[in-house]
Structure formats: C-alpha cells, structure tokens
Copies of this chain bind each other. A is one copy, B any other.
Amino acid sequence: MDNRILDQLSIESDSKIVFLIMDGLGGLAADGKDGTELQVARTPNLDALAKESACGLLDPILPGVTPGSGPAHFALFGYDPVEFNIGRGVLSAAGVEFDLTDRDLAARVNFCTLDGNGNVTDRRAGRIPTEKNAQLCRKILDSIRVPEGYEFFFLPEKEHRAVFILRGDGLEDALSDTDPQQTGVPPLPVRALKPEAQRTADLVNNLVDQIRKILKDEHPANMVLLRGFAKHRSYPSMKERFKLNCLAIANYPMYRGVARLLGMTLHPVTADVPSQFEALEKNFSKYDFFFLHVKYTDSRGEDGDFDGKVKVIEEVDRLIPRVVRLNPEVLVVTGDHSTPSSMRAHSWHPVPVLLRAKTARVDRVERFDEISCIAGGLGRQPAMNLMGLALAHAGRLIKFGA
C-alpha cells in the first residue's frame, strides 16, 4: 500500500475532522448472546449516525492479521502499518512523553517477581501501584553506574510498566527480549541478533545485572523484564503530511505515544470518558483534527466480559450527541481493531466504520454493527484508506492530475 500521493494533494482548510476511536470495537457473537457486542448494545445515537453516514468495514493491516495497538493506530492515521512498524520501547518512551533522540535505545519494562531460585513467579509483580513503580525507578537511577559516554533513563509508566532508555553513540536494537513470556523460568539474558549489536547487548546485560542487585530486597517487584528494544527514528508528522493540527484526547500512555510520534498535541489526561468529550468541546475551535480514544471497549473485550463491553459501547453512545452538536465537517466512528470478548484478545476481524459528512454518499445501513456495515457504501477497506476519505470529505484534498 502506498498513499503518499495524499501528501502532495493535502491543503489547509478551516474544516474539522473528528476520529472517535473505540479500541477493540469489533466483536463476535458469543454463546447465549443475540449477536456481537455492538449488535446487542442499545445504540440509538450511533444507529442514527449510521443512517446518515457512509458505512463499511476496515481491515487494520491485512485480512487475517491481528494487529497490536501501535500498527492499528498508525493505519487509522494513514501511515503504512508495516513500513512504520515501531518497537514497543519507542512507543513506551513516547507514551511517557520522553523526547527521544536518534542516539537512544528504548525498551518496555515490566517489574516482575523472582523466587529464591531466580525463577519468575509473576511477570507483572502483582501489578504494583504506579507510585511504588515511580519510587523503584528513582531507586534504580540513584544507584546505577552508567559507563562513561552514556546516559541512562528509567521512567515509570503505569502500574508495573516502565521504560528503559540508554543514550549513546553506536547503539543497536537487534536485541532479544529478557522477558521469557512465562513463569517458572529465569529471565533471559539479552542476546545480540546480529554481530554489530554485541557491544550493546553487553552494555544492557550489565545494567540489568545492576538493577537485579538494586531491587533484590524489594517485594514483590524484585526484578525487571525487558522487551521490544528499539531505536528511535523520526516520522513525518500529520502536520507535514496532511496539513492537520491535531489534538489527541487519549488517556493511556501507548496511544498518547503513537499520537506524539505523529506530532499531535497531547491533551492532559482526563478523569473519564465524559471528560474526554468535554475536552473535545473545549478545544474544538483550536485544532483541525481530533483523535478521541476510548480504551475500555478493548479492556472489557480482553477480560472476556461481553456485558461489560456492551456497557462501554452504550456509555459512548449516550455521549454521541455532544460530538454531533459540534457538527464537524467529518465525523468518523470506528475502532483500531476487533477484540471479541469470546476470544479475550485482539483479533483480525474487520472493524465497522461510519463516516458522516455533508458529501457522504449515504447508503442503506441502518444500524452501526459488524454485520449491518457489510452492506455499507465504503465496502471493506484497508484501514489505511480511511485518512484519504476523511481528508476528501473535509475538503482538504485537491484534484490529482489534470
């Protein structure tokens, strides 16, 4: 896929685009349920929107491919999710609003629990509170000895998650994870995945050994697991590509990280979903593009909580009139991927989408759900095609060719 011609066709405009992204929105029918989560939910406002929109289904990456949240969001924002696939470490660093440089190597950290034999007993250290996490990060930074010529950062993310950043010349990210992805075994040493990365592997292993000693008397978080080593590279921003001033109204570090990497302004974290809609209202005159991210559809899906996911959808449905009242030139409602509660995980199934705009070619879809949207006028598309449609309906793309 290549949509780079959009960059040359994009123009400035006063028009507004709102992307309301319900994480993991797509679902499946489950035993004893009368359809998918979206079909079962009472969604009069979303259904009314669907009736006056063009609807369809989006494949996040390729049919059959289950995406992580990073690539799924890149695709929604019009970035090739394979070309722009970035390591977890970089996403995590961006999520805690750390300014990465091109000399930085980042990894996602889990605090974990080891038993007396050095085997992992809990890969998340009982999900320690964020305050404890911050305290441990400070302890590590106070005691660690970093080799001459390098800088080291260790930043709390949320609960048991943190970010490891090593800054210096010539660092490589072809490194294996230390997270064994199971309990009952010890953490793995970092291995160089190509010869040039050996020096970096040695440096990281030395730092991890020091951290083990620093944490040895802590409980339950007496060790760390590292994964997703990645070096930073810079991305063309949405401002550069599409001439959009963007505001991200997202409360979870991961999504804030993606938004930051693409040059969006980050709204401060808000208390709940209604506050996110309030933030949209208050800032509506100041930006062109709004990314409003609702996390809990995905969370309840991953919990296997069908009814809980239905409730989140219904809560968002009740807030829909607030965004409709703002009357953006383009309103898109969709998800980044499916998280069927029957699977308790992300899945590859396509995600329903609606696009409301004065220029939308309204189809016959009357309900906003996975099955009704099959008959929609947008058809089944790669998610990456969405941004071009949004820009066009916002009057932000000039004609291609004479």
Asked if B348 and A63 sit within 8 Å, CB to CB, the answer is no
Asked if A363 and B371 sit within 8 Å, CB to CB, the answer is yes
Instruction: List A49-100 residues whose CB lies under 8 Å from chain B.
Output: 57, 61-71, 81-82, 85-88, 91
Question: B residues within 8 A CB of A381?
Answer: 63, 380
Q: Which residue of B lies closest to A338 (CB)?
A: B361
Asked if A62 and B379 sit within 8 Å, CB to CB, the answer is no
Q: Mark A26-37, 1 if CB is under 8 A from B, else 0.
A: 001100000010
A376 to B397, CA, bound (A): 29
Q: Size class of A's contact patch?
A: 35 or more
Q: How distant is A304 from chain B, measured CB to nearest CB, in Å?
A: 14
Question: B residues within 8 A CB of A2?
Answer: 82
Q: How distant is A66 from chain B, measured CB to nearest CB, in Å?
A: 5
State whether A65 and B388 are in contact (beta carbons under 8 Å apart), knowing that A71-B401, A377-B374 are contacts in the complex. yes
Asked if A391 and B82 sit within 8 Å, CB to CB, the answer is no
Question: B residues within 8 A CB of A64?
Answer: 6, 385, 387-393, 397
Question: B residues within 8 A CB of A9?
Answer: 65
Q: How distant is A32 from chain B, measured CB to nearest CB, in Å?
A: 15
A29 to B358, CA, bound (A): 11
Copies in the complex: 2
Decide yes or no whether A16 CB sits under 8 A from chain B.
no
Question: B residues within 8 A CB of A42?
Answer: none
Question: B residues within 8 A CB of A270?
Answer: none
State whether A85 and B401 are in contact (beta carbons under 8 Å apart), knowing that A374-B379, A392-B65 are contacts in the complex. yes
Decide yes or no whether A271 CB sits under 8 A from chain B.
no
Question: B residues within 8 A CB of A387?
Answer: 64
State whether A361 and B28 are in contact (beta carbons under 8 Å apart), knowing that A91-B402, A400-B71 are contacts in the complex. yes
Instruction: List A344-402 residues whose CB lies under 8 Å from chain B.
Output: 346-350, 359, 361-364, 370-371, 374-381, 385, 387-393, 397-402
Decide yes or no whether A269 CB sits under 8 A from chain B.
no
Asked if A392 and B348 sit within 8 Å, CB to CB, the answer is yes
Asked if A361 and B389 sit within 8 Å, CB to CB, the answer is no
Q: Which of A2, A340, A377 has the most CB of B within 10 A?
A: A377
Q: How distant is A314 from chain B, measured CB to nearest CB, in Å?
A: 21
Asked if B400 and A85 sit within 8 Å, CB to CB, the answer is yes
Q: How distant is A402 from chain B, measured CB to nearest CB, in Å?
A: 4
Q: Which residue of B lies closest to A348 (CB)?
A: B392
Contact of A28 among B57, B359, B398 (CB under 8 A): B359
Asked if B376 and A379 sit within 8 Å, CB to CB, the answer is no
16 contacts between A and B (CB under 8 A): A5-B61, A6-B64, A28-B359, A36-B361, A61-B400, A63-B388, A64-B391, A64-B392, A66-B399, A68-B401, A343-B359, A361-B371, A371-B377, A374-B379, A379-B379, A380-B380
Enumerate chain A interface residues (CB-CB to B < 8 A): 2-3, 5-6, 9, 28-29, 36, 57, 61-71, 81-82, 85-88, 91, 108, 228, 340, 343, 346-350, 359, 361-364, 370-371, 374-381, 385, 387-393, 397-402
The 9 A-B pairs of least Cβ separation, nearest first, read: A64-B388, A379-B380, A88-B402, A64-B392, A71-B401, A68-B401, A64-B389, A63-B385, A68-B402
